[in-house]
Structure 1
Amino acid sequence: MTGYLTTHVLDTARGCPAKGIRIALYRVSGNSRAKIAETATNDDGRTDAPILPADQFKTGTYELIFFTGDYLRANGLAQGDILFLDQVPIRFGMSDPDAHYHVPLLLSPFGYSTYRGS
């Protein structure tokens, strides 16, 4: 298999990459999930390496959890103990063992979007 998974986060409220967001990757099986990776975004809003590199890639269902609360607070985009978007989960499937999957997060304090990128 030569597939792999990458991600990045863009702050659409400020129009810039979102630096320092912690991201966890889980493999999902039925009603359970197992954490297989954790990283944080760099100055460019990307991870320094694929969050799931080719040598660890398997097809299946996965979930990325973006821990956005600390970032939103630190940049003056959210306040208080209870945030609208403290964590953003994205569950998705990867079925092609040779594909590059890219799952970005476009983030603002009260909304987000994602897509299958390249």
Structure 2
Amino acid sequence: MGRLTTHVLDTMHGTPAAGMRMRLERVDDGSAATLVRITLNGDGRADAPLLDGVAFKPGRYRLVFEVGAYFKEKAVALPEPNFLDEVPIAFGIADASTHYHVPLLVSPWSYSTYRGS
């Protein structure tokens, strides 16, 4: 059975994004339903898979990371409004038997992601 995990690295400070808040949404016909809301642990990870077991189903999903609030809490001087506030990553799960890992590398001005292992 597959699972969904994430990991966030703060590229400005060169550290895991400990304490960043995020949510997982399932997107059906353009409307999103929040499935999980968490705060990332000291390693910038969720303490458990975001989805696994019978909850891990094929479909469209979105991870939304609260990067603006995170960098403000780190006392980073940001303009108002800050350049990045929430970073959404929309993706699809096609195979419920495999592991989907969706990492985020982020600074106040840029981000990147990929399908990890």
Native 8 Å contact 2:57 2:96 kept in 1:
yes
Gaps of 5+ in 1: none
Matched residues, percent identical? 52
Q: How many residue pairs were aligned?
A: 117
Residue aligned with 2:27, SS: strand
Please tell me whether residue 92 in structure 1 is matched to residue 71 in structure 2: no
- Residue type at the aligned position of 1:115: Y
What is the 5 A alignment of 1:16-55? 16-55=15-54
Query: Is the Cα contact below 8 Å between 1:25 and 1:37 reproduced in 2?
Result: yes
Alpha-carbon deviations, 1:66-85, whole Å to 9, x = none? Answer: 01112111223342441111
* Root mean square deviation, CA, Å: 1.1
**Over 4 Å off, 4+ runs:** none
Cα offsets for 1:36-58 (capped at 9, x unmatched): 11111100000100111223111
Q: What is the correspondence of 1:1-118 to structure 2 with a 5 Å cutoff? A: 2-118=1-117
- Which structure 2 residue ranges, 5 or more long, are not aligned? none
Q: 1:78 & 1:117 partners in 2: Cα distance?
A: 31
Q: TM (normalized to structure 1)?
A: 0.93
